[in-house]
Amino acid sequence: MSERHRRPYNDVTELVGWTPLVRLNRVVDDVRTPVYGKCEFMNPGGSVKDRIGRAIIEEAEEEGRLRPGGTVVEATSGNTGLALAMAASLKGYRCVFTLPDKMSVEKRKLLRAFGAEVVVTPSDVPPDHPDHYTNQAERLASEIPGAVLANQFYNGANPRAHYGTTGPELWQQTEGRITHFFAGAGTGGTLSGTGRYLKERNGKIQVVGVDPVGSVIAPFFRSGTMPEGSTYLVEGLGSDKIPGTLDLGVVDDYVTVTDAQAFRMTRRLTREEGLFVGGSAGLIVHAAVERARELDDPDALVVAILCDWGERYLSKVFDEDWLAEKGIHLDDGEDDGSGVDDGAGAQSAGARA
């Protein structure tokens, strides 16, 4: 860590990784168990997904599927698209991304700023519907000459990137003292790749998945049967299906968090810790702090992934009018557990990663 930035880099993708690990002090509310946040928003593209953008593109090149002048197509909630666009900009590839309509306007503008073409899709359709953002991406990839589908939900380069970087970083940064790792799953790459590496180093480490209420992953993990998903507002985590890159075999537990709980913690992280993060980070940290409270063990060490930068949610989590419109009240004590009301605009469980 102390040697970072002491030499020039060849390009921006070399800046990805070795994000800081920061202890949380105020949002833990005097819990004795130490909780740390892995600051993935400090990657150059502002999210944990930066780790997989270059890896996916380089693997496609090595396999001969992506050639000069080609096009990268992907279904994304914004962050993976931005990571792919950042890496593709260095190589001159065209990017076309499908993005569910409930994703923030900031994400759409960011993608277009990098030169990507954005196809906005409805988020209130089931995963087998032709208008679902994953199905539209598959169609576009088949129709555009020289195009490849990044396919983050089923691409093995995704968890391998985390196995090779995120896991080793956490092991070194905690000097092997990490006892609990908390992450969500949009595609499952972070949770699976990092969790697998940590488990190989110490089988006693607990790998805990965190899901929004309404996603099918946590219920499937607990019961082995596929439930029906419902709407929620947190972006980037959870799913209406089980992604192929998610290895539930490395996961010890799965917990659920409501939108209100996630957004309350998101805003606390900014105002009390100076960590400007998105709603998915609040969701993960809420679960990590609750588990730390249960552990009540100063010798344990809990790590939570802080997924992305808060600026891309100024029109949502940090906007009082938007929260009121969605029925989220953050100053009235504990929420009722529903997470969202039944009003229009709640995000489909299918709009992820």
What does DSSP say about strands 21-23 and 35-39: parallel, antiparallel, or unpaired?
antiparallel
49 is catalytic: yes
Q: What is the dihedral of CA 273, 277, 282, 284, to 10 degrees?
A: -110
29-34 contacts, C-beta under 8 A, 24 or more apart: 29/289, 29/293, 31/289, 31/292, 31/293, 31/296, 32/296, 32/297, 32/298, 33/292, 33/293, 33/295, 33/296, 33/297, 33/298, 33/300, 33/302, 34/292, 34/298, 34/300, 34/301, 34/302
Give the Cβ contact number of residue 112 at 10 Å: 13
Q: Which of 49, 107, 199, 241 does the annotation list as catalytic? A: 49
Phi, psi of 330 (to 5 degrees): -100, -5
Catalytically active residues are 49
